[in-house]
């Protein structure tokens, strides 16, 4: 296996002209794959990297137990569960055969954690991307985690490309799958590549033209174990009919039917989050993978400027700025380091440059800058808008923080998502109270969990609030490893949180099944035992403030 190399941009002279900068931004595509566990995200990641010639054989970046593994097993917990808790980014160059010979695109695939428990990190990653690929298992259709992640994309206005995977295995009909997408999530699917052959008999893809006509047929040939790029034969409709007979006729008819119901691609509606281009694929066989990359290059938006707190745009050609979207500790147990991942918003990043940390106003040197994918780390010499860079041992940085040079800027904070799991946290031994306090403050500032307090419970036993229970395990593991404190946790019988205010606090605390806390950012949260209790209070006491927080499931 060839390991990921340092970024292309690291070896060339850094472009700093406005024109050069906008060209660098323009050729980048930064996206994440959103899917339910087992839909094939790791397999697709391998296949994408294979197409970009990053790895010579598929099977090298997989992280599951028992496989050739390079994905994170930094934390013991990850090892024990055979899952990846950490998110990282894979960067590769890609040339689409649809674009001029000299055009090389830079693809940034930002990895979302692949386990079934949610954490806030899963959501935060989506603040760092410009597009998402929604990966669906052809047999299972839309699954809960895909739905939750999709809601975050919708909330943030991230355009979504849909990939229906595992078409090499028996599954639902393609039209059924499209119906499910439009009915359950209200997104109009607009297939670009339609399958020839039913699920389980995947022969190739009909490429749809603007009004549904068959532009061409791409016929695939299997390779042993899907380990190499599947050879493609491209032919016109007549040749396709001669080759595939009724299978082709069915596909062509269905494609026309889609046009009759208005399911053709429209770039504006795609960017507005109303439609989603669809590609059928088999990540395992490498069928449809080139088409996914070509679609990203052709349709996904390149990095754009971002509005700051005051609503003023920071353009990609402005001086350097970046947003931290994730902090990961303990990725390398030998060094016990801490990486802050930032997404570059504007300007050029050059390793070693001194930037300002907007939240403290303090200068910050960026001597150790890396890209991380799996166990592979490489030094980043320079990076451009859309790129993700990990800063080593950047202790002051937390998700949502801004870094900049020259022109001061501060981007809006990342919204914290509605917690659904609550647990009381205590130090096992009272003698360790000081370390315990330090650990709580540190993990809180990193956004590992949300920390809630109220006068009744006091400071020795704060309440942790999380989107997924795995966040609690991370707290326990890190408290032990980094602060030498055994943490005791006790589930708290609440199931949801609502934002409230001081005027409602006293009355809410009088209610059964409700308790008000202050989160460390000062927001008052009412925890409620269940949704029926919430409905009851809202009906009986309509004047009390109980606002939903940003929730993936809302
Ligand atoms: P995840 O990261 O989304 O959790 O999924 P992953 O890629 O690990 O894939 C889950 C399972 O689905 C794997 O099988 C994988 O081989 C299989 N898979 C992924 N894509 C395809 C596809 O296009 N077609 C078919 N038929 N299977 C696919 P497994 O049995 O869990 O592991 P393995 O023994 O095959 O490695």
Residue 140 scores a pLDDT above 80: yes
What are the domain boundaries of the chain? 30-299, 306-404, 421-548
pLDDT band at 359 (very low <50, low <70, confident <90, very high): very high
Query: Which atom of ligand 1 lies closest to the CA of 64?
Result: 8
Mean predicted confidence (pLDDT) in 43-65? 64
Contact indicator for 296, 192 with CB cutoff of 8 Å: no
Tell me the CA–centroid distance for residue 76 and ligand 1, in Å. 24
Q: Looking at 225-229, 382-386, 517-521, which range is the least confident one?
A: 225-229
Tell me the CA–centroid distance for residue 40 and ligand 1, in Å. 5
Does 40 sit in the ligand 1 pocket, CB within 6 Å? yes
In angstroms, rounded to a whole number, what is the distance separating the alpha carbons of residues 87 and 64? 15
- 449 dihedral zone (left: phi>0; alpha: psi -120 to 50; beta): beta
3 state DSSP class of 276: strand
Q: Looking at 141-145, 244-248, 306-310, which range is the least confident one?
A: 141-145
Does 88 sit in the ligand 1 pocket, CB within 6 Å? no
Tell me the CA–centroid distance for residue 231 and ligand 1, in Å. 21
In tens, the pLDDT along 172-219 reads: 999 999 999 999 999 999 999 999 999 999 999 999 988 888 899 999
CATH topology of domain 421-548: Alpha-Beta Plaits (3.30.70)
Tell me the CA–centroid distance for residue 333 and ligand 1, in Å. 29
In angstroms, rounded to a whole number, what is the distance separating the alpha carbons of residues 414 and 325? 8
Residue 34 scores a pLDDT above 60: yes
Residues tagged in the binding site annotation: 111-115
Ligand 1 pocket mutation pick from 34, 35, 38 by most atoms within 8 angstroms of CB: 38
Does 115 sit in the ligand 1 pocket, CB within 6 Å? no
For atom 6 of ligand 1, the residue with the nearest CA is: 40
Residue 42 scores a pLDDT above 90: no
Contacts of 183 by beta carbon, 8 Å cutoff, 6+ apart? none
DSSP 82-147: T------EEEEEE--TTS-TT--EEEEEEPPP-SSS--HHHHHHGGG-SEEEEEEETTTBS-HHHH
In angstroms, rounded to a whole number, what is the distance separating the alpha carbons of residues 309 and 411? 5
H or E segment to which residue 349 belongs:
strand 349-350
User: Pairing between strand 402-404 and 354-357?
Assistant: antiparallel
Residue 348 scores a pLDDT above 60: yes
Residue 349 Cα distances to 84, 234, 546, angstroms: 28, 41, 43
In angstroms, rounded to a whole number, what is the distance separating the alpha carbons of residues 386 and 407? 19
| Total-model pTM | 0.85
The percentage of residues in the chain with a pLDDT greater than 70, rounded to a whole number, is 86
Contact indicator for 451, 457 with CB cutoff of 8 Å: no
Tell me the CA–centroid distance for residue 227 and ligand 1, in Å. 13
For atom 35 of ligand 1, the residue with the nearest CA is: 284
In angstroms, rounded to a whole number, what is the distance separating the alpha carbons of residues 447 and 420? 15
Query: Which atom of ligand 1 lies closest to the CA of 39?
Result: 3
Tell me the CA–centroid distance for residue 283 and ligand 1, in Å. 8
For atom 31 of ligand 1, the residue with the nearest CA is: 38
Residue 131 Cα distances to 4, 29, 95, 262, angstroms: 23, 8, 19, 23
Location of structure tokens 């009088």: 510
What pLDDT score was predicted for residue 228?
78
What pLDDT score was predicted for residue 18?
84
Residue 58 scores a pLDDT above 60: no
In angstroms, rounded to a whole number, what is the distance separating the alpha carbons of residues 244 and 249? 8
Beta bridge partner(s), residue 100: none
In tens, the pLDDT along 62-84 reads: 444 333 343 333 445 544 544 44
Does 171 sit in the ligand 1 pocket, CB within 6 Å? no
Contacts of 34 by beta carbon, 8 Å cutoff, 6+ apart? 112, 126, 132, 133, 134, 135, 146, 149, 150, 153, 160
Does 140 sit in the ligand 1 pocket, CB within 6 Å? no
Does 39 sit in the ligand 1 pocket, CB within 6 Å? yes
Tell me the CA–centroid distance for residue 226 and ligand 1, in Å. 12
In tens, the pLDDT along 214-247 reads: 899 999 998 876 667 888 999 999 999 999 999 9
Does 64 sit in the ligand 1 pocket, CB within 6 Å? yes
Does 145 sit in the ligand 1 pocket, CB within 6 Å? no
In tens, the pLDDT along 327-347 reads: 877 655 555 677 889 999 999
Residue 432 scores a pLDDT above 90: no
Residues tagged in the binding site annotation for GTP: 111-115
Tell me the CA–centroid distance for residue 39 and ligand 1, in Å. 7
Does 69 sit in the ligand 1 pocket, CB within 6 Å? no
Does 37 sit in the ligand 1 pocket, CB within 6 Å? yes
Does 84 sit in the ligand 1 pocket, CB within 6 Å? no
Mean predicted confidence (pLDDT) in 271-297? 95
Name the CATH superfamily, with its identifier, for domain 30-299.
P-loop containing nucleotide triphosphate hydrolases (3.40.50.300)
Query: Which atom of ligand 1 lies closest to the CA of 36?
Result: 3
For atom 11 of ligand 1, the residue with the nearest CA is: 38
Contacts of 64 by beta carbon, 8 Å cutoff, 6+ apart? 42, 82, 83
Tell me the CA–centroid distance for residue 145 and ligand 1, in Å. 17
Mean predicted confidence (pLDDT) in 543-548? 92
Does 36 sit in the ligand 1 pocket, CB within 6 Å? no
In tens, the pLDDT along 92-135 reads: 889 888 888 888 899 999 887 655 566 777 788 889 999 999 99
Helices (H), 281-402: 289-299
CATH number of 306-404: 2.40.30.10
pLDDT band at 14 (very low <50, low <70, confident <90, very high): low
Location of structure tokens 């694929």: 281
């Amino acid at each position: 296996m060839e390991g990921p190399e340092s970024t292309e941009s690291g070896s060339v002279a850094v472009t700093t002209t406005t024109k050069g900068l906008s060209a660098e931004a323009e050729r980048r595509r930064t996206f994440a794959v959103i899917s339910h566990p087992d839909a094939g995200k790791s397999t697709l990641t391998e296949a994408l990297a294979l197409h970009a010639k990053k790895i010579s054989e598929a099977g090298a970046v997989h992280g599951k137990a028992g496989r050739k593994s390079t994905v994170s097993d930094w934390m013991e917990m990850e090892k024990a569960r055979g899952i990846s808790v950490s998110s990282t980014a894979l960067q590769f160059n890609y040339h689409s055969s649809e674009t001029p010979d000299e055009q090389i695109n830079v693809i940034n695939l930002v990895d979302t954690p692949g386990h079934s428990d949610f954490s806030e990190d899963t959501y935060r990653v989506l603040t760092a991307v410009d597009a998402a690929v929604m990966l669906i298992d052809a047999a299972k259709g839309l699954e809960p985690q895909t739905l939750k992640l999709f809601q975050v994309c919708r909330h943030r206005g991230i355009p979504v490309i849909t990939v229906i995977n595992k078409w090499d295995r028996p599954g639902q009909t393609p039209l059924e799958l499209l119906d499910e997408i439009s009915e359950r999530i209200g997104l109009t699917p607009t297939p670009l590549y339609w399958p020839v052959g039913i699920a389980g008999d995947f022969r190739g893809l009909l490429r749809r033209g603007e009004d549904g006509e068959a532009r061409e047929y791409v016929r695939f040939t299997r390779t042993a174990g899907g380990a190499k790029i599947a050879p493609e034969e491209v032919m016109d409709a007549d040749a396709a009919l001669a080759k595939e007979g009724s299978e082709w006729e069915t596909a062509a008819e269905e494609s026309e039917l889609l046009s009759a119901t208005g399911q053709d691609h429209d770039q504006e509606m795609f960017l507005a989050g109303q439609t989603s281009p669809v590609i059928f694929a088999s990540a395992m066989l490498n069928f449809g993978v080139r088409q996914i990359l070509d679609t990203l290059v052709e349709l996904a938006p390149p990095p754009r400027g971002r509005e700051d707190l005051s609503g003023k745009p920071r353009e990609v050609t402005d001086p350097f700025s970046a947003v931290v979207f994730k902090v990961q500790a303990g990725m390398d147990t030998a060094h016990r380091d801490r990486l802050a991942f930032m997404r570059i918003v504007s300007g050029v990043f050059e390793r070693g440059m001194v930037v300002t940390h907007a939240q403290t106003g303090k200068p910050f040197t960026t001597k150790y800058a890396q890209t991380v994918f799996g166990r592979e780390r490489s030094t980043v010499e320079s990076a451009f808008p859309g790129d993700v860079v990990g800063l080593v041992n950047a202790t002051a940085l937390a998700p949502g923080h801004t870094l900049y040079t020259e022109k001061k800027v501060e981007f809006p904070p990342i919204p914290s998502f509605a917690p659904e799991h609550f647990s009381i946290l205590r130090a096992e031994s009272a003698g360790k109270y000081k370390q315990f306090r330090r650990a709580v403050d540190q993990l809180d500032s990193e956004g590992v969990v949300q920390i809630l307090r109220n006068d009744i419970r006091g400071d020795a036993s704060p309440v942790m609030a999380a989107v997924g229970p795995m966040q609690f395990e991370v707290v326990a593991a890190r408290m032990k490893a980094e602060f030498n404190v055994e943490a005791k946790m006790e589930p708290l019988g609440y199931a949801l949180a609502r934002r409230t205010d001081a005027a409602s606090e006293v009355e809410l605390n009088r209610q059964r099944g409700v308790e008000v806390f202050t989160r460390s950012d000062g927001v008052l949260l009412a925890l409620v035992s269940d949704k029926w209790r919430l409905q009851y209070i809202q009906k009986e006491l309509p004047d009390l403030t109980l606002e939903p927080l940003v929730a993936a499931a809302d």
